[in-house]
Structures are given as C-alpha cells and as structure tokens.
Amino acid sequence: MAVVLSPHAELVDFAGPWGVFEYVRLDDGRTPFALTTVAATTDPVRISGGMVVVPGHDVDTVPVPDIVVVPALDTGKLAPEVLDWLRRVHQDTAVTMSVCNGSFVLGQAGLLDGRTATAHHGAYHALQAMFPALTVVPGVRYVEDGRIATAGGLTSGTDLALRIVERYFGRAVAQRTATYLEYQGTGWMYPGSNAEFAEPAPVTAEQPACPVCQMPVTPDTPITLERDGRTWRFCGDWCQEQFRAAPPRFAIPEVS
C-alpha cells in the first residue's frame, strides 16, 4: 500500500487508512499489508499542520502497489510526475483510493471520467464543476466504482480502508481490526451514514454561500469578487481563484 505525499497533504486523510492497513491481522497471525509513502522525490514534504514527512520512495523507485491512497493535497503544487505515476500504476492496482478532496487529484489524473465519486461534503459542487465527466455522489462515506474508490471527508478514509479489508479478507477480519483500533464508527458497513450532507445548506440573502464549495459565508466576508454587477463572496482564497478562472462553472442563482 502506497500513500501519495505532496505539499499540504492532509494528515488525517492518510493516517486513518495507514493505521487500518498496519493493524490487520489474519487468522494465522500474518500482517498482509506492506506500507510505504511515495512522492515526486524523497525530499522532506511539509504536510498539514506543519508536520514534515520524509517519503519512503520516489515515483521511480517505489514498488508497484496493490493499493494507492491519495489524500487531499495542494493540487497546485502537485508535481506532474506524480500524476503520470498515478495513471501508470492504476492500470495494475487492486484499488486506487482517494480520501476527502484527494478525489480532485484522481480527477486531475483523468481517472474519474465516466465514474461515480465523492469528496468532502464542502467540495461536492466544486468537484462536479471542475470534472463534469464524473458523477458526484453526495451524502455517503465512500463510493466504490470498480478499482476506483473515493471516500468522503477526513475520517471517512478509515471507513473506506476497513471496507477494503472486508473486500480482501471478510467482515470478521475487518471487525477485528476496528476493535483492535478501538474504532467505533460503523460507516464502513453503512456508507449511507453521511446522509446529513446529501443536501447543501439553504442559501438566503442573510446567509450566502461560497459559489465554489457552497459552504456558508458571512455577508461581510472580505474575500469577494465583483462580476456582472454582482458581488460574489467566498470562504477562502482558493475558492476565489477557482471562480476567477472559470466563473460559468460555479455561478449559482442570486437569492433575493
């Protein structure tokens, strides 16, 4: 199992699956998964929260993985050779999985065209707008589409990893792994448990939403953009830049 690292990779996204795959024990005591990390180079990578991680391999030396885990990361700083590596190894992986907004990386690599996928609930709209050839499934912990599997936000990756263990070795082994980890979530058995995120929050004049991610924003947010006589309000700089680059993708009706 290889975790892809790049600047600002989200720790929670891959720490959960890493722990799941690390602690799988079969009936005969074997540990079936060998774990590593991969990046464009083996230079230290600063990930979320300021942690610095030294990748175990670069894309030229990493053993061919059966499972690839792609966390959310800064797609603007993702080296092209990492995308090339993803496309290449996906041809032979058992599962190429993303967690949270790692699905944007799979989309950027062209691996989600014609597929169903999910992401963090705050990114459904942006994922669909940026990759119109895929179908976004809201309100689920994970989506399995052949050898591609995408998890919802953050801790959803733990559920998807347990589901993959179940696929390989059965529910009893997956449950034993969850019990050892003292993980009490059941989303790996019931992916629809994210149903509260199936519908976007209502938008009103008093409670506007970011047009890119549809997250609520305050009416007096300083991150705005004027276009076509309308003031657009954003939750952050990234969303503002995505909108600036392609406004028609994200425009939503104005609420009176």
50's CB contacts (< 8 A; 6+ apart) are none
Query: What is the rounded CA–CA span in Å between residue 205 and residue 215?
Result: 14
User: What residue segments make up the domains of the chain, in order of their start?
Assistant: 2-197, 200-256
| Superfamily the domain 2-197 falls into | Class I glutamine amidotransferase (GATase) domain (3.40.50.880)
Q: What is the pLDDT of residue 201?
A: 78
Residue 72 CB neighbours (<10 A)? 26
Angle in degrees, CA 120, 57, 161, rounded to 5: 35
Q: What is the pLDDT of residue 228?
A: 84
- pLDDT tens readout for residues 130-167: 999 999 999 999 999 999 999 999 999 999 999 999 99
Query: By the 8 A CB rule, do 20 and 165 touch?
Result: yes
Angle in degrees, CA 139, 117, 87, rounded to 5: 155
Angle in degrees, CA 57, 2, 12, rounded to 5: 110
Positive/negative CA dihedral, 140, 99, 22, 68: positive
Residues forming beta bridges with residue 9, ordered by sequence position: none
Using DSSP's 3-state secondary structure scheme, residue 52 falls into strand
Positive/negative CA dihedral, 74, 79, 83, 85: negative
By C-alpha distance, which of 158, 137, 139, 136 is closest to 69?
158
**Pairing outcome for strands 36-39 and 57-58:** parallel
Return per-residue pLDDT of the chain as tens, 256 residues: 999 999 999 999 999 999 999 999 999 999 999 999 999 999 999 999 999 999 999 999 999 999 999 999 999 999 999 999 999 999 999 999 999 999 999 999 999 999 999 999 999 999 999 999 999 999 999 999 999 999 999 999 999 999 999 999 999 999 999 999 999 999 999 999 999 999 987 888 788 899 998 889 999 999 999 998 899 999 999 899 999 999 988 876 665 5
Query: By the 8 A CB rule, do 99 and 48 touch?
Result: no
182 dihedral zone (left: phi>0; alpha: psi -120 to 50; beta): left
Phi, psi of 36 (to 5 degrees): -155, 170
Q: What is the pLDDT of residue 214?
A: 85
Using DSSP's 3-state secondary structure scheme, residue 31 falls into coil
